[in-house]
Amino acid sequence: MKILLVSYSILPKSGGSSVIVENLAMNFTKDKMIVLGSRGPSNNYLYDRPADGVVFKYFFSELSFFGRGARFFDWFRKIRFRTLINKIKNIISQEKIDHVIGVYPDPFYSLAASIASAELKVSFSSYFHNTYTENVAITNPSAHRIQKQIFDSSENIFVMSKGMEAFYEQKYKLGKFLPLVHTFNNYPDKSLDAGLPGTDKSTYKLVAIGNFNQSNLDATIRFLNAIKGNSKFTLSLYTHVPKLLLQNRGLNTRHFEFKGSVNPDKIHQELQQYDICILTHGFEGGYGEVEYQTIFPTRTIPFLLSGKPILAHSPKGSFLNSFIKEFNCAELIDVADEGEIVTGLNRITNDLNYQKQLIENAAKAAENFYGPSVVEKLKQTLEGKVGI
């Protein structure tokens, strides 16, 4: 079987979806998968990949002001929509594609993939990294029609977590929702690990990674407020979001060290400079209750593999909390209370055995996301042998 994976987000475009697609594709050979993604007008859209690996193709569909304000160029995407469908059809025909997977978030590429597949009578599956019509931040009046069209044309609807699967199945009762989780493909070199934080430091260095947008903004602001002025803790943020924009979003730049973006291949090495990984997950904001319940942050996986204890600030009822509780892999603060955050940090820094327990449990939890195992189940599903 040869698969065409169609995704708006692919590297070097920043964001969790790009990393998810990249890690998934790394488990295929060039004769088993092709990936198609978006690019802007610049020629600087290539990403350094192995010459013998999966082929990534790019389609020009994006205009922006130096990476910002893409919404003002929606008209350009619309006039390119039929061209994108034809591009997908050409790849299907030329490469003898047996199955197409369309990735959301981004209905433009997923819908085009479903239409191209239908026109050529090639089997199609969708892959939802987030909810679509349930996300209150989505204002497209055509969203319900688009989602129904994608759902109806999908043999399988892959989703990012068991939480999303349970929610979708309860609401839509289609019997074709299947979890296809984030993956990692190589265990980090443990010889690089810097070891436990210990219990005798005057200052503990904390680290967080992410977009710091509506998916976790309120929790991140609360965390910063909890530790500001506390000399025992410092926080560094790794993000592709510009410092000024973080300030505009409410993150006081005086209370953290801005580190900029980090190459996915370098994350483990960077994390060794710190003592505790901080995983913030939104309690409320512009995405809506369902989105906060079902999101599973991409950055969770490198944290689980980091060899560092994790503190997670995440709301009750979320799938992330259920996962953390199942594996006891992080200090979990599930109330919107700054004092509880500091108490949780002190619980980690005051107990060496607890640090060891959290790290060991995190390593076991990470096994659920090992790419070769996850992708083998995906292949079997597409070949009709077993369910994921």
State pLDDT tens for residues 61-110.
Answer: 988 766 666 777 788 889 999 999 999 999 999 999 999 999 999 999 99
SS3 (DSSP) at 333: strand
pTM for the model stands at 0.86
Right CATH number for 190-368 from 3.40.50.880, 3.40.50.2000, 3.40.50.2300, 3.40.30.10?
A: 3.40.50.2000
Residues of the chain with pLDDT under 50: 386-388
Whether 146 contacts 140, CB under 8 Å: yes
Q: How far apart are alpha carbons 357 and 352 in whole angstroms?
A: 9
Q: How far apart are alpha carbons 368 and 149 in whole angstroms?
A: 32
User: What's the pLDDT score for residue 74?
Assistant: 83
User: What's the pLDDT score for residue 388?
Assistant: 47
Angle at which helices 107-120 and 74-94 cross, to 10°: 40
Q: Say if residue 372 is exposed, middle or buried (CB neighbours under 10 Å; 0-12, 13-18, 19+).
A: exposed
Chain CA centroid to CA 60, Å: 23
Chain CA centroid to CA 111, Å: 20
Helices assigned H by DSSP within 45-138: 74-94, 107-120
User: What's the pLDDT score for residue 96?
Assistant: 97
Angle at which helices 352-366 and 319-327 cross, to 10°: 110
What are the sequence ranges of the domains in the chain? 3-185+370-382, 190-368
SS3 (DSSP) at 177: strand
Q: How far apart are alpha carbons 227 and 314 in whole angstroms?
A: 17
Angle CA 107–108–113, to nearest 5 = 90
Q: How far apart are alpha carbons 24 and 191 in whole angstroms?
A: 26
Instruction: Give the CATH H-level superfamily of domain 3-185+370-382.
Output: Glycogen Phosphorylase B; (3.40.50.2000)
User: Could you report the per-residue pLDDT of 127-138, keeping only the tens digit for each?
Assistant: 999 999 999 889
User: What's the pLDDT score for residue 43?
Assistant: 55
- Name the amino acid, one letter, at 47: Y
Q: How far apart are alpha carbons 212 and 216 in whole angstroms?
A: 6
DSSP 296: -
**Topology match between the domains 3-185+370-382 and 190-368:** yes
How many residues would you count in the chain?
Answer: 388
Residue 346's CB is within 10 A of a number of other CB atoms, namely: 14
> Per the structure block, which two tokens stand in for 146?
């688009």
Q: How far apart are alpha carbons 163 and 151 in whole angstroms?
A: 18
Strands 204-209 and 123-128: unpaired
User: What's the pLDDT score for residue 49?
Assistant: 86
